[in-house]
């Protein structure tokens, strides 16, 4: 005996993704009228996005959008410049015990 299927409302779940951005951090070592920017290290930023968006956006558009976000986050005393990015579709795996492993291998 065959049953007729009722209309079901299916929900499509979009997988989240993260864009991990490495940026150069600068500090202003002068006044705000004549800034003197010195690189002081790196800063990591995480941008949560949908996997659909990251798969179909033009790379240049994504980088320009990241540049603008970093510029908006900057101020007269500190700024951030895009260096590179990586896309992740899952959380990182935490592996503990690296120091112990080194000691076991090399004594």
Q: Which residue range(s) make up the domain with 61?
A: 16-93
Strand-pairing partners, residue 91, are none
Determine the pLDDT at residue 9: 72
Q: Is residue 107 part of a domain?
A: no
Answer yes or no: is 52 within a domain: yes
**pLDDT beneath 50, residues of the chain:** none
Q: pLDDT, tens digit, for every residue of 4-18?
A: 656 667 676 778 999
1 located within any domain: no
How many structural domains is the chain composed of? 1
- pLDDT of 5 reads 59
Write out the two tokens for 88: 């992740």
pLDDT score of 4: 63
The confidence score (pLDDT) of residue 2 equals 62
The pLDDT assigned to 8 comes to 66
Q: Answer whether residue 104 is part of any domain.
A: no
DSSP for 47-83 reads EEEEHHHHHHS-HHHHHHHHHHHHHHH--SSEEEEEE
């Amino acid at each position: 005996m065959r049953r007729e299927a009722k209309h079901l409302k299916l929900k499509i779940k979009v997988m989240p993704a993260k864009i991990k951005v490495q940026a150069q951090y600068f500090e202003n070592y002068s006044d705000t009228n004549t800034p003197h920017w010195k690189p002081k290290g790196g800063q990591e930023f995480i941008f949560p996005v949908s996997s659909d968006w990251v798969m179909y956006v033009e790379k240049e558009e994504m980088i320009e959008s990241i540049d603008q976000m970093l510029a908006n986050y900057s101020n007269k005393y500190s700024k951030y410049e895009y260096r590179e990015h990586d896309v992740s579709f899952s959380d990182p795996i935490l592996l503990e015990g690296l120091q112990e492993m080194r000691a076991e291998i090399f004594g």
